[in-house]
Amino acid sequence: GAVVSQHPSWVICKSGTSVKIECRSLDFQATTMFWYRQFPKQSLMLMATSNEGSKATYEQGVEKDKFLINHASLTLSTLTVTSAHPEDSSFYICSVPGQGSSPLHFGNGTRLTVT
Amino acid sequence: ELKVEQNPLFLSMQEGKNYTIYCNYSTTSDRLYWYRQDPGKSLESLFVLLSNGAVKQEGRLMASLDTKARLSTLHITAAVHDLSATYFCAAGSGGSEKLVFGKGTKLTVNP
């Protein structure tokens, strides 16, 4: 069964509005979760590391005030895209580290379209 | 800074043929992963390679790791249409759980 649950699977919103994406670790507690963004036909780019109990760590070039991350509990991280613009349209995927060297477990992704 | 390069980026092959996808990484890495992504879907883990000389096989796919050459390969044997997908390699290093992904190889297997 799924290890990581991501919701919603897809969302369409208007420019200027905000969208929240949830990522839940179903099988185990996760002090760390990762948020990736994937533009069409491109690779995954790490946006930020979500840390339970502390601030998220953002990758270079990612606006922390635009992409708000909240690691509310050991099983839930949320990504809020604030004041969305069409260029924010992308596939957002969260992931949870596996145990030890186990591979990352990925959510099913959220397809965001900003009109 | 760890960088990961894959080639080829696009691969079109006939059913029954063999081919190899290459993944080079720039600095020392202690783990290498291969993932598969179908269109519109998330990533599915295929292989985890942790040591020099590691070789893993699943069906028609076989992955290997040469840490001295900083190279991993994904070999496809007797390709079938169902293998059509995009394949990513990803590397990690040190104590960080973060992974750096290659650009992906879009594989199309033609009947």
- A70 — pLDDT class (breaks 50, 70, 90): very high
| pLDDT tens digit sequence for A31-43 | 999 999 999 889 9
Give the number of A-B residue pairs with CB atoms closer than 8 Å: 45
Burial class (CB in 10 A: 0-12, 13-18, 19+), B66: middle
| Residue A34: other Cβ atoms inside 10 A | 24
Angstrom CA distances, B37 to A43, A88, B72, B94, B104, stand at: 10, 21, 18, 26, 9
Name the more confident of A99 and A7: A7
Contact list in B for residue A106 (CB cut-off 8 A) is 42-43
CB contact under 8 A, A104 and B45: yes
Distance CA B67, CA B88 (A): 18
> Which tokens belong to A17?
């509005």
Burial class (CB in 10 A: 0-12, 13-18, 19+), B26: middle
Q: Which residue of A has its CA nearest to B91?
A: A103
Q: Residue B98's pLDDT is what?
A: 83
CB contact under 8 A, A101 and B31: yes
Q: Residue A2's pLDDT is what?
A: 64
- Under 8 Å between Cβ of B70 and B29: yes
Listed in sequence order, the residues at least 6 apart from A109 whose beta carbon sits closer than 8 Å to its beta carbon are: A6, A9, A38, A91, A92, A93, B41, B42
Distance CA A4, CA A106 (A): 6
| pLDDT tens digit sequence for A34-68 | 999 999 889 999 999 999 989 999 999 999 999 99
CA distance A17 to chain B (A): 24
Q: Residue B70's pLDDT is what?
A: 94
Q: Which residue of A has its CA nearest to B6?
A: A43
A60 shares contact with chain B (CB less than 8 Å):
no
DSSP single-letter state for residue A88: G
In this predicted structure, the answer to whether residue A28 has a pLDDT above a threshold of 90 is no
Contact list in B for residue A101 (CB cut-off 8 A) is 30-31, 48, 50
- Partnered with residue B57 across adjacent β-strands are B62
Burial A36-52 (b: 16+ CB within 10 A, else e): bbbeeeebbbbbbbbeb
- The average pLDDT across B18-34 equals 92
Alpha-helical (H) ranges within chain A are none
- A101 — pLDDT class (breaks 50, 70, 90): confident
CA distance B29 to chain A (A): 12
A44 shares contact with chain B (CB less than 8 Å):
yes
In this predicted structure, the answer to whether residue A1 has a pLDDT above a threshold of 70 is no
- Asked whether the bond before B39 is cis by omega within 30 degrees of 0, the reply is no
Distance CA A44, CA A75 (A): 23
| pLDDT tens digit sequence for B65-109 | 999 999 999 999 999 999 999 999 999 876 667 889 999 999 999
